[in-house]
Amino acid sequence: MTPAMPSQLFYGGDYNPEQWGREVWLEDMRLMREAGVNLVTLAVFSWATLEVADGVYEFGWLDEIIGLLHENGISVDLATATASPPAWLTIANPEVLPVNYQGTRLSHGGRQGYCISSPIYKAKSGQLAAKLAERYGKHPAIKMWHVNNEYGCHNPICYCDVSALAWREWLKKRYSNLEELNLAWGTNFWSQRYHSWDEVLPPRETPTGTYPNPSMTLDYRRFSNDQILDLYLNERDIIRGFDSVNPITTNFMSMKHTSVLDYWQWAKEVDFVATDHYLMADDERNYIDLAFQADLTRGFAGGKPWLLMEHSTSAVNWQERNIPKAQGEMLANSLSHVARGSNGAMFFQWRQSISGSEKFHSAMVPHTGEKSRIWHNVKELGAKLQELKALAGSETEIAEVAMIFDYQSWWALSQRNLPSTSISYPELAHDWYRALWELGLRVDFVAPGSSAAELSNYKVVLAPMLYLLNTDDEQALIDYSKAGGSLVVSYFTGISNEVDAVKLGGYGGSLVRDHLGVFVDEFAPVRLGEKVSLSNGMSGSEWSQFATTSSADELASYVDGLALGSTALAKSASGRDWYVGTRLDDASNQQLFASLAAELQLEQLGGKGVEVINRGGLQLSIDHNTNRVSWKANV
Ligand code: GAL
């Protein structure tokens, strides 16, 4: 049995005491107690202050601060400090630094400056994790381990020669021989056929206007994900050797445009799921993106509680315009995460820095100190979490709607040479989710490859742009539907198999062509800024297609544009499955999902700017029009 997350609502944030003098540490303890902080994440970027030269460790300051926190009743989420290697390591071993797509070796000085396939980085990070686990594994203040930090945030892919060697070994395990690889990647195209493993390079930049082989590029994303996961597993297993009691995790990145890792795979390897989420200030309804990411994170956690490891008290420092949070917005954000399954609310960071590139990022203790608006809000949130502490360990109520979210389809769709560069996997998934949110319909996220039995927990399963679909996964969707479930399938679903080779005989394979009964003949992307109108009054953009129904019932056709007269919206002969052939605008999506909710008699709670979520014995309600939060017993 692996250790579980303690059943507690956590409150606190990243704590970087090495940026401050001892007198500030004492003030920190007082303020943390005042705000109700019960957990801090220590040492995330401390490698250079803990290992000052190769093999020379200085743990004195960390001993002291862990002791002080413990005396003050504050627990520690101890990071392994391996997120940013110190200068001495990369100066002595320049090959540890990553190489970008263009072949340039990057420099020390930012963060995460390491190649994900570097054996030197792996050995040195493992050594540091061992030292920390040995020294602090049994310290009573330690509650959990925080391996590295946001893996792959800045260095998701490396194109160096060391990576090339690891890549070939990875390929030899995936493909039993070179001929199999040649076939999978379709290398007879453009003279790409390989005759020896040594000829296979990372998909580096190619002559202008050409791109590396798409199947190869997709595999390189899979390889990179696996290399990073291997680094995590190395540290995790080392820690486990010293500490079998405290849970071990790492913080994922739940962001609309972050696709670096396949978190469905990662979730199996952490003792509990933890994630970071930041609002995009330019998005006026960014609380819906927050809800999407929180629900997705709960999906990774299999419905169990998870932990929001970072969010911001107010503005960040890395967007074009860093807009602060409105009054009440922080509380609304934090409680939305809690309602959707987080066992608490943690922030980046405790005390706002005065130096370094994050000095204008908000924190729990801002530059202006205790007289600030933010500090007042921080104390208020601490008190609310105290009132809600009985929620710890409880689960958010299961939804009636499931959405399949697939990082690997996203990777394939992030490449060039598709029918249109305007199509965006996360945008379509978010469009659909936004409509459901506004209608008060709650969504659970499920992994691609879920079995028909797993899907049968839901009345309806959504598959927006599930581009890669292998035969087994396709069959699971068909079986789910045949057993009485409802599918909503979008354009550009089921186009290719797992090696990104197109399925022939009507786009969308047997799911779309045979099961749904829609024959998609040719794609007709819509020009930028133009719209297509549908015969039922709806409208869409970006995509249309030459399509007809075979067994399906046509609900709407295009009344203008190139695909005039073609099927735009259809329902399968069973009357239970929908096919959506364009990127509907917001009003049309709401119309579509409202009729679906009515037909399937789905429960609607809240809506129109108000979210209502049941967790534990409570019904939490968060009104984003006013930023007011409330809860009552859920009877
Ligand atoms: C996260 C990171 C933190 C901090 C934060 C700022 O990506 O883990 O260390 O940089 O962003 O928003």
Helices then strands (H, E): number in the chain? 18, 27
| Triad 267, 268, 272: Cα angle to 5° | 60
Strand ranges across the sheet with 628-633: 606-607, 610-615, 618-623, 628-633
Per-residue pLDDT tens over the stretch 432-474 = 999 999 999 999 999 999 999 999 999 999 999 999 999 999 9
Name the DSSP class of 534: B
The average pLDDT across 170-180 equals: 97
The alpha carbon of 457 is separated from its chain's Cα centroid by a whole number of angstroms, namely: 23
Q: Which helix (H) or strand (E) holds 162?
A: helix 161-174
- pLDDT, residue 629, reads 97
Q: Which of 516, 502, 459, 503 is CA-nearest to residue 484?
A: 459
Which positions are catalytic?
A: 150, 310
Strands 567-571, 578-580: pairing is antiparallel
The predicted model scores a pTM of 0.98
For ligand 1, the distance from its centroid to the CA atom of residue 64, given in whole angstroms, is: 25
Give the domains, in start order, of the chain with CATH numbers. Answer: 10-160+224-391 (3.20.20.80), 401-602 (3.40.50.880)
- pLDDT, residue 607, reads 86
Q: Which residues pair with 306 in a beta bridge?
A: 342
Q: Which atom of ligand 1 is least distant from the CA of 251?
A: 8
Q: Which helix (H) or strand (E) holds 61?
A: helix 60-71
Task: Return the SS3 of 219.
Answer: helix
Tokens of 93: 């071993």
Name the DSSP class of 505: S
Tell me: pLDDT of 1 over 80: no
For ligand 1, the distance from its centroid to the CA atom of residue 323, given in whole angstroms, is: 16
- C-alpha to C-alpha distance for 5 and 270, rounded to whole angstroms: 10
Q: Which atom of ligand 1 is least distant from the CA of 44?
A: 9
pLDDT-derived band at 2 (thresholds 50, 70, 90) equals confident
Tell me: pLDDT of 635 over 80: no
Tell me: pLDDT of 296 over 90: yes
Residue 111 CB-density burial (10 A; 0-12 exposed, 13-18 middle, 19+ buried): middle
For ligand 1, the distance from its centroid to the CA atom of residue 376, given in whole angstroms, is: 23
Length of the chain: 635
Task: Kindly state if the Cβ of 45 falls inside 6 Å of ligand 1.
Answer: no
Task: Kindly state if the Cβ of 492 falls inside 6 Å of ligand 1.
Answer: no
